[in-house]
């Protein structure tokens, strides 16, 4: 199939290699910059679409789950190539649906394709399966020790929820889909209703790649819904074996609770809420205060503050007046942002207004005009912060809260009070780090990534990246949703006892035909 | 401290390095062979004991969690040495509390010590942390790629529930405790009320080792309770970060639900219920039927059928009459077992009576006298099995159910109907395996371990062992509770961005000072 012929939208779910039902209620995307409804209308997936997508995925799992790394890699690369072909249409549509700048969306498309190719490399290499071989052994007493061989196998059909804030990299063909497909699992995506057109174009890229690679129908489906029924049905469907989600704490927790209440509970990997504390230590402040203020302002306002790694909490001692004045001036530079949806904009404006009115808080930026999204800088002190846990909650958008403290012991008390976050950042000289050595062990238990002398908003897609963290940053602090370790969410170990070579996966056969890294009796081969 | 001086029981919880409160209600262990109550009485831990154990564990986590692999290894080895010193007392007490034979308990003590030493080796070697280093890089466009380094770090205080059926290897100093301690986590054990004395002796071995190794108070605590209050309070305690459990489906699911409903949900690793299907294929039956019958009988009745890997479901075609007669004769050999507790015995006798009376089932062994625990063999056919899902449920004790089928397509239908199990076993010749090639891919999605031409009841403690499987076999089919991979349950990845060597864990420092396996930009160093 020529993928080029598919780069237009039908507004109907993609259920395996068919279109879904066209009879349900419809909704349209809204251009957040203009308020205009965008064509075409999208039909809500019907219950039978959910059922068919799940059934097809379960049937496809037995075939696709046994495809080689080379075959899965070719599929992921074909998706990336199709996305590149579709990039002009994708970026244009995404810009209309999200109000994100074209350059950002072009960058995000490239990131999405690189991410798919990184997972392709990972499964082509094949060592990710953690192959372990323990040899049989006769024993003086008792029965012979059997031959045991284990590797990671796919978990089964995965439901993925597209996020609003990254319409490409964390959406239909984003990290959850890429890592679930790489592990050998069929994927059913529930499209985010704020960018259904972008979702359909990306979904077509995946479907076209699946056909071209000769993969079984059901390896991928895409379902539309402006409400929650389709998502709820997916998470409750007995054939769905895991869930990937990026979004709000309220929605993520809802999915966690649904999954935990199933007759057979399944894991939910939800990335939800993070305020990303920043600790600016005194010598760093003294030597680089201006650069830190500039960098912090850029990080808080990047993408209109709609990054899950936006620094929303900054710990500074009482002597940092010049820095605070400088940051406050930057935050008051004329800037009016268009947020992703009208709902997010209302939420931000309300959150900022309430925080400004909080008795323990002083606003360092003037109130924005009604209906305007402007950067906001707030300040409290350590006592106020510790007394009001609500101040540690996320305001999604370009706002941040300074917490002024009286030195090491107050700083450590604030650190100990933190819940789970994706990141924590420290600005410090070597001397600062030695003086504040007790800080790092505390932060390490609270976050997935510790940044030194930088800003948390750049999330590289690499092997060592951890984009995770204890609840409520994610549903499971043992996981990452970015980087190659994300594949481990969607795999489970299986052990073969005394099987002959012909019945074993090639990863476990004698002679190591795939040439992967393996451990033999615990020692690297 | 001389451990030898501690080998007697006080009947009071061990809370850090202190005894718990002695004022609560008390209970005694019962010798299941005689019905006699055993001295001493054990005091139920008070709410303040739970609170102090959790607080001490959380405080200890920051210190113990940063101890080197060598220090953790020395601790695990010291526990093993103390258990060996205490072995005569441990085995004697365990025999009184469980009615398990001395030889079995001696073997289980050795297994427990070997398991502790295997985890010691694992952390002394240090490569288990999956160290990943991605180098910094200047880029033509955009900001520099940062230096990213990740490794697995401890999850935090772990609550462990001792199991009834392995009073040593899956109890106080068993696999959950060993793997949680190896990962760097303090452990709070809720002792199983059926063997509190064995629990206290094992707990003393751990406490004594912790003191001798200079570890912080709270790295280990042991709480007694004949009821559920202490366990519930532990799982709900905000400072507890994960749970390990081996026991019944009802109790395990209760803990899962409690953990999922917390303000901050935590992972529960519960090993619960498994019927361990066995598929005997025709050529294997023909060539080795006698040996399979003997082995199956031994496996079903091993430990009075109280193994979680007991084969409780056997698929055979209609032509297997001679085999069935042989197995039925073996199962009718005079044998009366004493089960672990009076409750388990009642449960078994009721379960066996109900199954014998099931309309789709024929009993191939005569009914046991009232109050007697005798082996039981039942038979149904594929249609009956598929029509009555209750027949797939576990009867804990020496019973098994034959499912007679009409060949490949019925066999596959039965396989597809299976829920999650710890193991599946196939008896087959090479020709059988080729003819029934569609069976393995189905079974692989249902279990953690696939056994060929053997029996599932031996669970080796090795690197490749997977003692896990999809729900309801465990709460999380992505995990194993036996073997070195069990450590991964209690660890989470943490990423360091741009940190200097002195502030990094040694596992991530330049030059690889610990000489562990690491991946540099995705390639093994």
How many pairs of residues across A and B have Cβ atoms under 8 Å apart? 229
CB contact under 8 A, A156 and B267: no
CB contact under 8 A, A494 and B444: yes
Average per-residue pLDDT for chain B = 96
pLDDT in tens, B65-97: 999 999 999 999 999 999 999 999 999 999 999
Determine which helix (DSSP H) or strand (DSSP E) holds A328, and give its type and residue range. helix A321-331
Contacts with B136 (C-beta within 8 Å, 6 or more apart), sequence order: B144, B145, B146, B147, B498
* Structure confidence at residue B7 (pLDDT): 67
**What does the alpha-carbon distance between residue B90 and residue B106 come to, in Å, rounded to a whole number?**
9
Band of pLDDT at residue A167, cut at 50, 70 and 90:
very high
**What does the alpha-carbon distance between residue B523 and residue B525 come to, in Å, rounded to a whole number?**
6
pLDDT in tens, B433-479: 999 999 999 999 999 999 999 999 999 999 999 999 999 999 999 99
Instruction: Assign 3-state DSSP to chain A and report helix, strand, coil percentages, each to 5.
Output: 40, 20, 40
**Which residues in chain A are contacts of B478 at CB distance < 8 A?**
155, 267, 491-493
Tokens representing residue B289 in the block: 């039927």
Name the residue of chain A whose CA is nearest to B428's CA. A499
Best residue of A65, A265, A497 to probe chain B, by most B CBs closer than 10 Å? A497
**Which residues in chain B are contacts of A515 at CB distance < 8 A?**
none
State the first-to-last Cα distance of chain A, in angstroms, to the nearest integer. Answer: 43
CB contact under 8 A, B430 and A470: no
Best residue of A242, A425, A478, A505 to probe chain B, by most B CBs closer than 10 Å? A478
Mean pLDDT of A144-154: 97
**What does the alpha-carbon distance between residue A365 and residue A373 come to, in Å, rounded to a whole number?**
12
CB-closest option in B61, B264, B466 to A494? B466
Determine which helix (DSSP H) or strand (DSSP E) holds A47, and give its type and residue range. helix A47-64
Band of pLDDT at residue B334, cut at 50, 70 and 90:
confident
Looking at the predicted structure, is the pLDDT value of residue B188 above 70?
A: yes
CB contact under 8 A, A494 and B146: no
Q: How far is B506 from chain A (nearest CA, A)?
A: 14
Name the residue of chain B whose CA is nearest to A438's CA. B62
**What does the alpha-carbon distance between residue B164 and residue B171 come to, in Å, rounded to a whole number?**
8
pLDDT in tens, B18-50: 999 998 899 999 999 999 999 999 999 999 999
Tokens representing residue B320 in the block: 């297997």
Band of pLDDT at residue B6, cut at 50, 70 and 90:
low
Q: Closest Cα to residue A280, out of A272, A291, A268, A269?
A: A291
pTM score, two decimals? Answer: 0.97
**Which residues in chain B are contacts of A121 at CB distance < 8 A?**
522
Q: How far is B441 from chain A (nearest CA, A)?
A: 7
Q: How far is A435 from chain B (nearest CA, A)?
A: 12
Which one from A108, A217, A271, A394 is the annotated catalytic residue?
Answer: A271
**Taking the mean position of all CA atoms in its chain, how far away is CA B189?**
14
Instruction: Assign 3-state DSSP to chain B and report helix, strand, coil percentages, each to 5.
Output: 40, 15, 40
**Which residues in chain B are contacts of A479 at CB distance < 8 A?**
492-493
* Structure confidence at residue A143 (pLDDT): 84
CB contact under 8 A, B503 and A260: no
Q: Does the interface ipTM go beyond 0.85? A: yes
Band of pLDDT at residue A335, cut at 50, 70 and 90:
confident
Mean pLDDT of B93-111: 96
**Which residues in chain B are contacts of A257 at CB distance < 8 A?**
260-261
The answer to whether A191 and A164 are in contact (CB under 8 A) is: no
* Structure confidence at residue A1 (pLDDT): 44
CB contact under 8 A, A471 and B503: no
* Structure confidence at residue B86 (pLDDT): 96
Radius of gyration (Cα) for chain A, nearest Å? 25
**Which residues in chain B are contacts of A500 at CB distance < 8 A?**
430, 433, 452
Looking at the predicted structure, is the pLDDT value of residue A4 above 60?
A: no
Burial of B466 (0-12, 13-18, 19+ CB in 10 A): buried
**What does the alpha-carbon distance between residue A114 and residue A120 come to, in Å, rounded to a whole number?**
10
Name the residue of chain B whose CA is nearest to A517's CA. B524
Name the DSSP letter for residue A154. E
Best residue of A493, A501, A515, A519 to probe chain B, by most B CBs closer than 10 Å? A493
* Structure confidence at residue A178 (pLDDT): 98
CA angle B167, B169, B175 (to 5 degrees): 130
Which one from B97, B108, B124, B308 is the annotated catalytic residue?
Answer: B308
Q: How far is B500 from chain A (nearest CA, A)?
A: 8
CB contact under 8 A, A260 and B265: yes
**Which residues in chain A are contacts of B463 at CB distance < 8 A?**
132, 134, 150, 519, 521-522
* Structure confidence at residue B133 (pLDDT): 98
Mean pLDDT of B109-115: 98
Looking at the predicted structure, is the pLDDT value of residue B140 above 90?
A: no
CB contact under 8 A, A61 and B445: yes
* Structure confidence at residue B201 (pLDDT): 98
Looking at the predicted structure, is the pLDDT value of residue A141 above 90?
A: no
pLDDT in tens, A57-77: 999 999 999 999 999 999 999
Average per-residue pLDDT for chain A = 96
Name the residue of chain A whose CA is nearest to B146's CA. A460
Tokens representing residue A206 in the block: 């995946």
A271 is catalytic: yes
**Which residues in chain A are contacts of B114 at CB distance < 8 A?**
none
Q: How far is A454 from chain B (nearest CA, A)?
A: 8
Beta pairing, strands A14-15 & A18-19: antiparallel
Which one from A217, A308, A326, A410 is the annotated catalytic residue?
Answer: A308
Mean pLDDT of B202-208: 98
CB-closest option in B61, B445, B495 to A465? B495
The answer to whether B436 and B281 are in contact (CB under 8 A) is: yes
* Structure confidence at residue B1 (pLDDT): 44
pLDDT in tens, A459-507: 999 999 999 999 999 999 999 999 999 999 999 999 999 999 999 999 9
CB contact under 8 A, A433 and B500: yes
């Amino acid at each position: 199939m020529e993928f080029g012929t598919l780069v237009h939208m039908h507004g109907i779910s993609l259920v395996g290699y068919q279109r879904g039902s066209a009879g349900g209620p419809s909704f349209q995307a809204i251009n957040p910059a203009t308020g205009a409804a965008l064509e075409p209308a999208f039909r809500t997936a019907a219950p039978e679409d959910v059922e068919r997508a799940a059934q097809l995925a379960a049937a496809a799992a037995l075939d696709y789950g046994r495809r080689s790394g080379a075959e899965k890699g070719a599929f992921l690369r074909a998706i990336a190539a199709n996305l590149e072909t579709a990039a002009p249409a994708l970026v244009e549509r995404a810009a209309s649906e999200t109000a994100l700048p074209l350059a950002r969306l072009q960058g995000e498309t490239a990131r999405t394709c690189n991410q798919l190719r990184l997972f392709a490399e990972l499964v082509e290499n094949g060592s990710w399966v953690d192959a372990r071989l323990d040899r049989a052994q006769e024993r003086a007493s008792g029965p012979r020790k059997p031959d045991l061989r284990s590797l990671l196998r796919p978990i089964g059909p995965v439901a993925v929820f597209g996020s609003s804030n990254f319409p490409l990299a964390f959406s239909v063909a984003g990290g959850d889909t890429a890592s679930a497909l790489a592990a050998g699992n069929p994927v059913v995506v529930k499209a985010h209703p704020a960018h259904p057109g972008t979702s359909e174009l990306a979904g077509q890229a995946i479907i076209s790649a699946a056909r071209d690679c000769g993969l079984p129908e059901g390896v991928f489906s895409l379902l539309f819904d402006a409400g929650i029924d389709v998502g709820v049905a997916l998470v409750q469907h007995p054939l769905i074996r895991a869930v990937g989600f990026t979004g709000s704490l309220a929605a993520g927790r809802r999915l966690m609770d649904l999954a935990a209440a199933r007759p057979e509970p399944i894991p939910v990997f939800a990335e939800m809420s993070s305020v990303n504390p920043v600790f600016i230590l005194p010598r760093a402040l003294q030597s680089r205060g201006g650069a830190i203020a500039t960098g912090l302002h850029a990080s808080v306002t990047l993408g209109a503050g709609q990054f899950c790694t936006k620094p929303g909490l900054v710990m500074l001692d009482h002597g940092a007046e010049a820095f605070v004045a400088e940051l406050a001036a930057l935050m008051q530079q004329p800037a009016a942002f268009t947020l992703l949806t009208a709902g997010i904009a209302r939420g931000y404006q309300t959150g900022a207004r309430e925080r400004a009115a909080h008795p323990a808080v002083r606003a360092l930026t003037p109130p924005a005009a009604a209906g305007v999204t402007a950067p906001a800088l707030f300040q409290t002190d350590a006592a106020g912060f510790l007394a009001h846990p609500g101040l540690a909650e996320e305001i999604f958008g370009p706002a941040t809260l300074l917490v002024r403290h009286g030195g090491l012991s107050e700083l450590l008390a604030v650190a100990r009070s933190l819940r789970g976050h994706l990141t924590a950042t420290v600005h410090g000289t070597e001397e600062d780090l030695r003086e504040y050595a007790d800080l790092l062990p505390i932060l390490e238990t609270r976050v997935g990534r510790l940044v030194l002398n930088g800003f948390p908003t750049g999330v590289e897609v690499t092997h060592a990246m951890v984009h995770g963290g204890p609840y409520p940053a994610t549903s499971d602090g043992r996981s990452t949703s970015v980087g190659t370790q994300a594949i481990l969410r969607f795999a489970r170990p299986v052990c073969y006892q005394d099987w002959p070579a012909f019945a074993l996966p090639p990863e476990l056969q004698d002679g190591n035909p795939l040439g992967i890294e393996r451990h033999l009796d615990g020692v690297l081969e």
